[in-house]
Amino acid sequence: MLLWVSLLALASVSGQLETAPKPVISLQPPWTTAFQGESVLLTCNGVPINSPQETTWFYENQGSQASSVTPGNTCVVQETGNYQCQHSGSSLSVSVHLIFSAASLILQAPLSVFEGDTMVLRCLRRPGSALKNTTMYKNQEAQAPLRDGSDLRVHGAMLRDNGWYHCKADKESCCSVVSNPVEIQVQELFPRPRLTASPAPPTEGSPVTLTCETQLPPQRSDVQLWFCFFREGQALGSGCSSSPELQIPAMRSEDTGSYWCQAQTVTLSVAKESLRSYIRVRRAIPSVQIHTRPPKESVFEGQKLVLVCSVRGVPGPISVSWYKRPNLHLATEIPLSQEAEFRISTVKSSDAGKYYCVANSIRSTEVTIQMKVPVSRPVLTRMPHGSRVLEGDEMTLRCEARRGSLPILYQFFHEDVLLKEIQLTSRRESFLRFSLAAEHSGNYYCTTNNGLGPQRSAAVTLSVHVPVSHPVLTHIPPGSRAPEGDEMTLLCEARRGSLPILYQFFHEEVLLKEIQLTSRRESFLRFSLTAEHSGNYYCTANNGLGPQRSAAVTLSVIVPASRPVLTLRAPGSQALVGDTVELHCEAQTGSPPILYRFYHDGVTLGNSSAPSGGGVSFNLSLTAEHSGNYSCEADNGLGAQHSEVVPLSVTVPASRPVLTLRAPGAQALVGDMVELHCEAQTGSPPILYHFYHDGVTLGSSSAPSGGGVSFNLSLTAEHSGNYSCEADNGLGAQRSEVVTLSVTVPASRPVLTLRAPGAQALVGDTVELHCEAQTGSPPILYRFYHDGVTLGNSSAPSGGGVSFNLSLTAEHSGNYSCEADNGLGAQRSELVPLSITGLTGSRGGHVTTGVTGVLLSLVGLAAVVLLFYYWLPGRAGGRPLLSLAGRRPACDASSSSSHSDPQEPTYHNVPAWLEMQPVYSNVNPKGGDVVYSEVCRVQGRNKRAAATTARLPEDKDSSVIYSQVKVTSTPGSRSQLSASSAPHR
């Protein structure tokens, strides 16, 4: 940073200063741009002499203005804006504009650049920004790229370096970043010098002074300039020097010519020439003058005296004669004095008189030489006399020089500070009178001087006794309250009063300390604060002229709050939703007032103050969200103290659970795995869940961390019904709503039964086709088929079977089947053949007697066999194995008796699930009408029935009694039967 001298406006190199100083602001670091968060030290240079050491600072930014006063001449700033400073008695400084940028790339430049400076431009990246490849630009043209951490340096700045500068850097992820632009204007270090000559124009033989005038700006007033003088291209004098003046003792006529000067820096970085000035040397008018060395007023006895005869404008050779005239009318030539100088090695009183010289008959003016006597050492005395004087007394100091030529200059000093000076021409003593004050104590002396050197008197000591003033008691740090453990300093000061002074410190009238001081006016008492130090303090001061007591100072010692204790008070052993919980926070020690704050998981709940100390409480009406960690804080201004964390678990009763049934598909089918999920949306864990089916417990499961649980069922038909669940966490069980589950059973393979009016199906008969699936969830759609062609369909909304009627024609012979479908897959029955006889007319035609006899014999035999058949299984508790005409076949065990007509022959198919084992079958015999096409046996279907059913003859291989029964009918009658009753084995 540049060190500025106390020049507040432009000053000439010759040393002349402006009368109205103007401060100059300098920066440290020297940049006008910085990152936000950084600071810049401003220095207001140019403090006027004897001005108070404080500075007024002015700040302005976008219409906002502020000012502040700082001790000294520095100020630290961190805000963007314009800054000015002012000292007492000075004008405002030039405004300085600072920028504190939030950008990631900034260009830093100095506050000002002058000719010849080494200009430094710094392209600075914010720490942590991913920037690289920095390049400097001037007037939008790229300069040399900058290495990391390097600056752009321009040595010997000139006006050609003016322009707009900025820098650019690459961002690793995307693009380029451009800094702030900076305009550089190189200022003139000093203007072109001006050559002056004094006197102007010069006279032949007379001396002349050449001056090279220029001026430096206040910011560069410390720059050293060298000056060179030239005449007609030839250097004058001994070369360049730091003086802007060149003395030429005597000008000659041949010295007429063109003159100029050059001002340059020591490093020659800046050098400027003045304009050419033509100086003409005038011819001198003949003149003879006399001069003395020393001046004639200072010629004293015993010293050397030289008289010089100066001759100008007198053509040579020159002859000089010296004359002394002791009186007005007589002049005597001094022999052996033909030179231009007349020397008297030791002046005596007899050398006094009037002297003149004559050069080639031209006479000089006269010079009077008077002898002077050196002044003697003065004597200083005071009135009144005595070693002890009091404030307010009148004092007279007398200074006397008992010999010495007049006039004599008298000076009075107090502690080397000039109080008064006076020159006397008629007497040899001087006086100084003043009224005594405390500051008049000290050493006094006087001096006398009549031009032959000052003489100093012996010192006179004056002690002014001043009664002590009321002392002032202050404490450091200030303030009526101070924390326990702090260092406290009591300062007792009597601002007036002669030393020595006895100081005493008191606390509540108890003497703490006393000390007598002989060299200063304030006394200190230091101690470390405890609670007992609270109270009133005062001090006294006494210098023997009466004690003085200070005003009392009250000190309150503040004890920091201790770590508080947080207590949670709930109505019961558990904190339930809806309860009111009291949070009580208390610090055991600490000076009131104490501010308490309450926190839940680090978030402020509220605060309360205890003006007289103690603790405070905070009430909460609990909800589920109030579970968590609680703490409190105690603060009495000496640092906040946090309690330990206290956890609170709010127990929430389980809400009414929701039961959800989750099946693999849209319907619940037999064999599916159904998930029963029960969940209470709220409730403190653990929660025990129970599952119910039609009020009967299925099972239970616990959720230790809350949430829901599941229960799986592999469905059977019995699982249809109402389901519910229950949630219980010990605060009362909650039952879900009932959810109904309907288990859909696929339709089983149906059984098709054909029912005709008689033993044979004849053209014109109405045949009922009855189709029924023994199991399956309704509704069931039934379809009827004849040789694979759909006859029709019908639905059973409530289950069971359906019938389909046919009015027979010859085309209706063939195979019949039916299909049952409840949406879970169609099931087809087995085929049932139907053979239609083409005869029509009365079924009661006459039958031949032979045929009737055979038929009756056959019937009788059949009856015996049937009786035996029913008797045998009846003993075993079963039922008949065979069902003949008028009874339902034993192989259709699932059909109810309500569907059979005891008078009608039945045509049917036998389902596989009844495990039928037909031995012989005659599905479609070519001759005759078949009444029974199959006789079968049921194996192991009902053991109890088998025990009561009449057994067949003990033939293990015989299962069929009749393989074919034929009915022979005539148009008139169907009562006569013919049958082939040969049994088959």
Paired tokens of 558? 């503040």
Q: How far apart are CA 300 and CA 348, in angstroms?
A: 8
Cα 908 to the center of its chain, rounded Å: 91
Q: Count other C-beta atoms under 10 Å from residue 131's C-beta.
A: 19
Kind of pairing between the strands at 379-383 and 394-400: antiparallel
The residue type found at 840 is T
Residue 599: the pLDDT is 96
Q: How far is CA 108 from CA 31, 33, 121, 213, 842, in A?
A: 6, 5, 6, 35, 132
**Residue whose C-alpha is closest to residue 706's, from 727, 678, 735, 686:** 686
Residue 859: the pLDDT is 63
Residue 51: the pLDDT is 61
The residue type found at 929 is D
Q: How far apart are CA 335 and CA 342, in angstroms?
A: 11
Residue 429: the pLDDT is 92
Q: How far apart are CA 772 and CA 812, in angstroms?
A: 21
Kind of pairing between the strands at 11-12 and 215-216: antiparallel
- SS3 of residue 906 by DSSP: strand
903 — alpha (psi -120 to 50), left (phi > 0) or beta? alpha
Parts of the chain with a pLDDT under 70: 1-21, 47-52, 148-149, 315-316, 327-332, 334-339, 387, 838-860, 862-985
Question: Is the Cβ–Cβ distance between 738 and 730 less than 8 Å?
Answer: no
The residue type found at 58 is F
Paired tokens of 571? 């109505």
Paired tokens of 478? 């200030």
Strand-pairing partners, residue 325, are 354
Segment (H or E) for 65: strand 64-71
Residue 316: the pLDDT is 67
| Total residue count of the chain as it appears in this document | 985
The residue type found at 931 is V
Alpha helices in 66-145 (DSSP H): none
Q: By CB neighbour count within 10 A (0-12 exposed, 13-18 middle, 19+ buried), where does 190 fall?
A: buried
Q: How far apart are CA 40 and CA 668, in angstroms?
A: 82
Segment (H or E) for 515: strand 510-517
DSSP assignment of 916-966, as one string? B--S-B-SS-SSSEES-SB---B-SS-HHHHTTSPPPPS-TT---S-S--E
Q: What is the 3-state secondary structure (H, E, C) of 276-293?
A: CEEECCECCCCEEEEEEE
* Total-model pTM: 0.34
Paired tokens of 803? 């019938």
Paired tokens of 442? 């000290």
